[in-house]
Structure 1
Amino acid sequence: MNKLMILTGEPLTRSILANFFDGISDFCVEGSFEDVPGLLSAVQNSQVDVLFADAEYAMQGNFLPLINPYGAKRPLIVLLARDGQAAAKSYEMQNVIDYVIKPSTPERLFLSLQKIRMQLSLINSYEAVGAPHSPRRDYVFIKVNKKMVKLSLDEILYVESVKDYIKIVTEKKSFLVYNTLTNFTASLPEGRFARIHRSYTVSVDKIDAIEGNTVEIMTTRLPFSRKYIAENQLKVFK
C-alpha cells in the first residue's frame, strides 16, 4: 500500500483529492494538511510515498529538506497550482514528477496517478535489485530537464552551491540541479565526499593537492574554509 499525504490551504482541493484516492485500492491517504507544520509533525512518524502539495509551499523550498533530508527517491511530489506558470517555477525540483491545475478533475488526477504508479514501479525495481547485490551505492539520480538521470559517483569532481541550485561538475560536463548543497551532500556516501566550504563539496579521491586554505582538483582551485578543516581532515588525509 502506497502512503499519500496532501498539503494545501484549500478545503475543496483537500476534499477532491481525498475522495479521488479513497477509491484507489493501492493508495492510502495518511493525512491531509493545511499548513507545513502539520505535515512535518506527521511525516516524523510515517514514511510518505507521494505528496500532493501547493506550488507556493514548494517554492519556499524550506520544508522539502525536512521531509526528504537525505535526497531519497521518496516522496514523489505532485504540485497543485492555479496556473501552469506558477507550477513551472518549481517543476525542476527534485522528486517533482507532475503538476495539476486547480480545481482538479478526476480525468486529470487519473493521468497523474498513472505517472505516479510508473515512477514508483521504477523505484521499487531499483531498490529490489540494488538492495541484496549493491551494499555500496555508486550512483545518484539527478533531475535534468524534467528527466531523472543516473550519474556515477566516480564521475563527480565537486559540487558547487549556486543560489537555489547546485552545479555538479564532472570531467566532461556540468549539471545544474535544483537542490541545496546541504541536502545533496547528505545523500552522498559518507567518507567519499567532504564539505570543504559553505559553497563546495568535493570528491575526496579527486583532490590533487591542498595548499593553505585551497584545494586543487585538476586545474580548479577551490577555497577550503577553516570551519570545515577540523571536521573533514580525517576524511581528506585518511
Structure 2
Amino acid sequence: MKPRCLIVDDEPMAREVLKRYFEKLPVLNLVGECSNAIDAFVFLQSNKVDILFLDIRMPELLGTELLQSLKNPPKVIFTTAYKEYALDGFELDAVDYLLKPIRFDRFLRAVNKAMPGSVNPHLEISEPERKSGIDSIYLRIDRRQVRIILEDILYIESAKDYVKIFTADQMFLTRQTITGLEELLNENEFVRIHRSFIVPVKKIKSFTHELVEIHKKELPIGKFYLNHFLKIMDAAIS
C-alpha cells in the first residue's frame, strides 16, 4: 500500500513545491494538505496518515504543539525555514528535518528515512522543477506572507542570512539564503551572476564580462558565474 501523506504548512509556495515533488513519486499517496495546524488536527482525527510533512512556525498552533497533542502520531518530517527549531524537532522523535527551500534530493532522503526502500534515493527529476509559468512567489516578510511579482524584480542581493529583493518602488527583506531563493526561480528567466546577486535576464540593459547594468545600477559578475551567465545571455539574444 502506498504511504499516505499529509502536508501542513501555512505558506502556499511551500505546499506547491512539495506537491510538485509528490507528482514525481507515484509510490506516495498525498491524501491532503492543510494551511494550519488546527485543520490538520481535525483531519488526523478521521483520516489515517503514514507520513506528516509538518511546518513548525504557524499561526495559532505550532507544528511542534500539534505533534505533542496527537496520541498516536504518524511519522513526522518537519519542514521549516528556521534552523533554530531543529533541536525541538528531533527531541520529538521526528524522522527528519528539512530546511526550506526544500531540495528534491533531500525530500527523497527524508521519505526513505520514513519508509525505507520506498523510493529510489538517486531518482532524477525528469523535467525542470522551476516552471516558467509561475509569475509570483510568496516570501515571509515581517511575519507575513508577501506576494512578490517576478516581473517587478530588478535584482536580488544576498545579506548573510537574509535576502534583499529590489523592485523599482521598494526593497523587500526576507530571512532566506540567496541559493535557496534561486531554487524557486526559473533558471532561464533569472541568472546568478555573483555569489551575492541574481538578476532577471529581461531587465539587463547592458553587460560586459565584468558588469551587468540594470535600471542605472551596475552589478559585478563573479568569475565563477561568468561562463553560465554568457551561456544564458547567448540563448536570450539568439
TM-score by length of 2: 0.52
Q: Tell me which residue corresponds to 2:118.
A: none
Q: Tell me which residue corresponds to 1:125.
A: none
Q: Distance in 1 between matches of 2:132 and 2:194?
A: 29
Q: Distance in 2 between matches of 1:140 and 1:231?
A: 24
- Per mean C-alpha deviation after superposition, the further-off stretch among 135-144 and 178-187 is 135-144
1:167 to 164, 172, 176: 164
Q: Tell me which residue corresponds to 2:187.
A: 190
> Could you say what secondary structure the match of 1:188 adopts?
coil
1:217 to 214, 217, 232: 214
- The Cα shift of 1:212 comes to 3.5
Residues 83 and 99 in structure 2, CA contact (< 8 A), matched pair in contact too: no
Residues 5 and 29 in structure 1, CA contact (< 8 A), matched pair in contact too: no
Cα distance change on mapping 1:58 and 1:171 into 2, 3 Å: farther
Cα distance change on mapping 1:234 and 1:147 into 2, 3 Å: same
Cα distance change on mapping 1:175 and 1:58 into 2, 3 Å: farther
Q: What runs of 5+ residues in structure 1 fail to find an aligned partner?
A: 8-14, 32-38, 40-47, 71-133
Q: What runs of 5+ residues in structure 2 fail to find an aligned partner?
A: 7-50, 56-63, 89-96, 105-130
- The Cα shift of 1:54 comes to 8.3
- The Cα shift of 1:226 comes to 1.6
Q: Tell me which residue corresponds to 2:99.
A: 64
Q: How does 1:37-186 map to 2 (within 5 A)?
A: 55=84, 57=86, 64-65=99-100, 68-69=102-103, 136-186=133-183
Q: Distance in 1 between matches of 2:188 and 2:154?
A: 14
1:230 to 221, 227, 231: 227
Letter in 1 for 2:70: F
Cα distance change on mapping 1:57 and 1:213 into 2, 3 Å: same
- The Cα shift of 1:216 comes to 0.5
CA displacement, residues 109-154 of structure 1 (integer Å, 9 cap, x when unaligned): xxxxxxxxxxxxxxxxxxxxxxxxx971111001111110111110
> Could you say what secondary structure the match of 2:187 adopts?
coil
Letter in 2 for 1:207: I
1:29 aligns with 2:29: no
- The Cα shift of 1:218 comes to 1.1
Please list every run of at least 4 consecutive aligned residues from structure 1 whose deviation after the TM superposition is greater than 4 angstroms. Answer: 15-19
CA displacement, residues 153-180 of structure 1 (integer Å, 9 cap, x when unaligned): 1001110000110000111111010000
- The Cα shift of 1:19 comes to 5.6
Identity of aligned residues (%): 27
Cα distance change on mapping 1:58 and 1:192 into 2, 3 Å: farther
> Could you say what secondary structure the match of 1:183 adopts?
helix
- The Cα shift of 1:189 comes to 1.5
Q: Distance in 1 between matches of 2:208 and 2:190?
A: 19
1:200 to 176, 197, 200: 197
- The Cα shift of 1:57 comes to 3.0
TM-score by length of 1: 0.52
Q: Distance in 2 between matches of 1:218 and 1:55?
A: 37
Cα distance change on mapping 1:144 and 1:18 into 2, 3 Å: closer
Letter in 2 for 1:29: P
- The Cα shift of 1:236 comes to 1.9
CA displacement, residues 189-233 of structure 1 (integer Å, 9 cap, x when unaligned): 120000000000100100001033010001110001121111221
Residues 18 and 29 in structure 1, CA contact (< 8 A), matched pair in contact too: no
